[in-house]
Amino acid sequence: MSDLLSFWATQLPALLRGMRISLQVTGMALAIGIPLGLIAALAVQSPSRLIRLPALAVVEVGRGAPALILLQFAYFGLPSAGIQLSAMMAAIAALSWTTCAYTSEIIRAGLQAVARGQQEAATALGFSRLDELRFVIVPQGMRVAAPALLGFAILMLQATSLCFTIALPELLSQAYQIGTITFRYMDTLMLAALLYAAICIPATVLVAAIERRLDRHTA
Amino acid sequence: MTWQGLELVAWGIPWTLAVTAGAFLLGAALGVPLCAMHVSRSRVLHGLAVALIVALRSIPPIVWLFLLYFGVGSGYLKVGAVQAAVVALGLITAANMAEIYRGALRSIHPGQWDAAQALGLPVRSELVDVIVPQVFRVTLPSAATYIIGLLKDSAIASTIGVAEITYLANFLSRKQFNESLTIFAFAGMLYILISLPLAALARLADGRLRARVAQ
Amino acid sequence: MVRQAGAETIVKVSGLGKFFGAHKVLDGVDFGMGVGEVLAIIGPSGSGKSTLLRCLNQLEPHSEGVIDICGSRIAADAPLSRRDLNELRRRAGMVFQSFNLFPHMSVLRNVSLPQERVLGRKRAEADERSRALLDRVGLGAKADQYPARCSGGQQQRIAIARALALDPKIMLFDEPTSALDPEIGLEVLAVMQELAEGGMTMIVVTHEMHFAETVSDRVLLMAEGKILEEGPSVEVMRNPKTPRAQRFLQAVMNR
């Protein structure tokens, strides 16, 4: 037991370095993907086909193809089209796409949950369509979507472990590396699992609490 | 790009389906006792179920896969790649299916239990004839959505060498580096194409069951 | 109370028709009203009175006929541009049955934001006007609260202030007290009465027969998408001519 703990203590710094990268990729993917998700959510509701169809394609492919394929498409595929991305950039690009696709659905549901009277009131006051979205519909819809978006953020952190396959030195890659050197796969992977759990479990509890709070406020 | 190359990727479809189906069947079965534990009056069983579900859902699937394949597999038990993939994804599926079952149980009107008891039905009949058919119906759409998600998650089996779609796409793209864009695009398309009939089937089954219940 | 009604026409509706799918909810509606007039529209549920009101500011585009309102002419086959529509909606304030305040903004922002976005007023100027209007509806103290913290009656008075803040030429009320307890409704009706006495041109779709009789100058009684009776309030309410109108009024008066 003390042997395991001392092993963990030696390997922890490397895993924490990996975790920092995992968190960075998560943060970037969300920061880029959620605004794109909002745009996609609005675009798929556009009456213009020229806007709606490309948006639908982006969303459907982003949701339909495994994130792992998107990652490898960005890292191994794009170079054959002359676009060379670093592992970090490829990870951010692919996971932003996934984020955009999934959050667009979450946000669309949020926007649709905004009471019809809100839009009517904005219209009756003479708001332009853009002002109506900006001041009335989007702020309320995003509030409805917030808990689901937070839940998705947790899944996104987990999804960064897929970046193992494109040699990004994130948490799982670090653990695997240590495993190949020390042959103590079980011990390192357990520590990695604990680190994921240490973030995801409190985050899940927090999201549930926020959800209850929001429920109470709207009720 | 030769069609033959792409054909090789398509040869991964059976393994993709096998891992998906195996994991789902395992998870759907294990989810039942897990759900039963969760709703049990015993605090110990309930606590154990909650801990298992939280742990299974809070650690990324690929980490579970590696724990099984490299962790357990190195020195504890001999674990094959396909078994590891099916069991790892199956365990995660069990946690999610348990939650889906629980949601379905909760959606059944308490009056149904009362009615079954008032009719003096034996417990077995109460469950088999009254509750389970309703749970099944409520569960079906969520389960179908989950299978489509699982289909995509099965891609992680490629990392331990299961020769499914993603693995073959990887393999091929290394041999034909100049075509890797097309290869991965094709692989992505395959997943989308497979999920289309699954989604249609789910909608159909949902409609059928609804119609039957409505009669 | 004597008003110089009908001095200058502000609304003129001719041959107005509206379909929802194959169902005709408005059929050959004609009426007009002058500046400063207060018009009540009454009638059974489903008679098309709310739809008529919503056609006036084009929340529902009409299917047939011509609407002249506040200097805009809207023919069914020649809808206004979005720009002209916004201009029309600025001139015609609307108050809804369900208030429709913006729940994520303070009461003050609710009243100020439309002034800033639609009229281009500066924040300080808008806030000053908002506070004056909130005082006028008796809710100056609520300015910094959120709508959820206000009662239904208070919310409706805030909604009235919000519409008034755009300096409308006419106010459209769509069953403003129907979602309120009768007692609470009175505080809203009091604000509306004061508005009427101040000379505001108003169209009020309502179930409040007392309000229709005492505050409005004229009453339109609708049924099945048509205007059944039209005339000075007391006359329509006390001496309806058609049997259908008699039946309706008897039913609501005896409640």
Is A204 an interface residue toward C (CB < 8 Å)? no
Query: Are the beta carbons of A72 and B173 separated by less than 8 Å?
Result: yes
User: What's residue B81's pLDDT?
Assistant: 93
Nearest CA in chain B to A82: B178
DSSP letter assigned to residue C78:
B
Nearest CA in chain B to A60: B192
Q: Tell me the sheet residues that pair with C19.
A: C24
Q: Which of C113, B112, C254, B42 is nearest to A136 (CA)?
A: C113
> What is the tens place of the pLDDT at every residue in C14-67?
999 999 988 999 999 999 999 999 999 999 988 999 999 999 999 999 999 999
How does residue C254 score in pLDDT terms, banded at 50, 70 and 90? confident
> What is the tens place of the pLDDT at every residue in B44-82?
999 999 999 999 999 999 999 999 999 887 777 788 999
Is A158 an interface residue toward B (CB < 8 Å)? yes
Which of C98, C100, C117 shows the shortest C-beta gap to A131? C117
The CATH code for residues C9-253 is: 3.40.50.300
Query: Are the beta carbons of B76 and A159 separated by less than 8 Å?
Result: no
User: What's residue B7's pLDDT?
Assistant: 87
Residue A121: list chain C partners with CB under 8 A.
Answer: 96, 100-102
Q: Which of A146, A147, A161, A145 is nearest to A199 (CA)?
A: A161
Residue whose structure tokens are 């895993």: A15
Task: Report the C-alpha gap between B147 and C62 in whole angstroms.
Answer: 48
Query: Are the beta carbons of B67 and A197 separated by less than 8 Å?
Result: no
Query: Are the beta carbons of B62 and A162 separated by less than 8 Å?
Result: yes
User: What's residue B2's pLDDT?
Assistant: 65
Which of A72, A172, A179 shows the shortest C-beta gap to B184? A72
Which of A61, A66, A190 shows the shortest C-beta gap to B166? A66
Residues of chain B predicted below pLDDT 70: 1-2, 209-215
User: What's residue C36's pLDDT?
Assistant: 93
Residue C6 has pLDDT above 70, yes or no: no
Residue C104: list chain A partners with CB under 8 A.
Answer: 139-140, 143
CATH number of the CATH domain containing A55: 1.10.3720.10
User: What's residue C1's pLDDT?
Assistant: 41
> What is the tens place of the pLDDT at every residue in C167-207?
999 999 999 999 999 888 999 999 999 999 999 999 999 99
Question: B26 CA to chain A: closest CA distance, Å?
Answer: 22
Is B171 an interface residue toward A (CB < 8 Å)? no
User: What's residue B139's pLDDT?
Assistant: 87
Residue A49 belongs to domain spanning: 2-218
Q: Could you tell me the residue ranges of all domains in chain B?
A: 3-214
Nearest CA in chain A to C119: A126
> What is the tens place of the pLDDT at every residue in A14-61?
999 999 999 999 999 999 999 999 999 999 998 999 999 999 999 999
- Which pTM value belongs to this model? 0.87
> Is A in contact with C (3 or more beta carbon pairs below 8 Å)?
yes
Is B74 an interface residue toward A (CB < 8 Å)? yes
DSSP letter assigned to residue C147:
G
User: What's residue A219's pLDDT?
Assistant: 41
How many domains is chain A partitioned into structurally? 1
The CATH code for residues B3-214 is: 1.10.3720.10
How does residue A217 score in pLDDT terms, banded at 50, 70 and 90? low
Query: Are the beta carbons of B70 and A179 separated by less than 8 Å?
Result: yes
DSSP letter assigned to residue C35:
T
User: What's residue C127's pLDDT?
Assistant: 96
Q: Return phi, psi of residue C245, to 5°.
A: -65, -40
Q: Is there a contact between A18 and A193 (Cβ–Cβ < 8 Å)?
A: no
- ipTM of the complex as predicted: 0.90
Q: Which of B148, B151, B159, B191 is nearest to B65 (CA)?
A: B159
Instruction: Select from A114, A123, A125, A142 the residue whose CB has the most chain C CBs within 10 Å, as the one to mutate to test that interface.
Output: A125
> What is the tens place of the pLDDT at every residue in A80-133?
888 899 999 999 999 999 999 999 999 999 999 999 999 999 999 999 989 999
Instruction: Select from A56, A58, A69, A97 the residue whose CB has the most chain B CBs within 10 Å, as the one to mutate to test that interface.
Output: A69
Is A24 an interface residue toward C (CB < 8 Å)? no
Query: Are the beta carbons of A120 and C59 separated by less than 8 Å?
Result: yes
User: What's residue B213's pLDDT?
Assistant: 58
> What is the tens place of the pLDDT at every residue in C62-92?
999 999 999 899 999 888 888 899 899 999 9
Q: Which of C82, C51, C127 is nearest to A123 (CA)?
A: C82
Torsion region of C4: left, alpha or beta (phi above 0 gives left; psi -120 to 50 gives alpha):
beta
Nearest CA in chain A to C87: A126
User: What's residue B16's pLDDT?
Assistant: 96
Which of C87, C93, C118 shows the shortest C-beta gap to A127? C118
Please tell me which residue, C53 or C252, carries the higher pLDDT value. Answer: C53
Burial classification of residue C193, based on how many CB atoms lie within 10 Å of its CB (0-12 exposed, 13-18 middle, 19 or more buried): middle
Report the pLDDT averaged over residues A190-210: 93
Give the range among A1-10, A17-26, B69-78, C230-239 with minimum mean pLDDT: B69-78
> What is the tens place of the pLDDT at every residue in C203-223?
999 998 988 988 999 999 999
Residue A158: list chain B partners with CB under 8 A.
Answer: 59-61
Is A61 an interface residue toward B (CB < 8 Å)? yes
User: What's residue B72's pLDDT?
Assistant: 86
User: What's residue A18's pLDDT?
Assistant: 95
- The crossing angle, in degrees rounded to 10, of helices A138-159 and A2-43 is 140
Task: Report the C-alpha gap between C252 and C255 in whole angstroms.
Answer: 6
Residue A168 has pLDDT above 50, yes or no: yes
Tokens of C25: 């909810």
How does residue A2 score in pLDDT terms, banded at 50, 70 and 90? confident
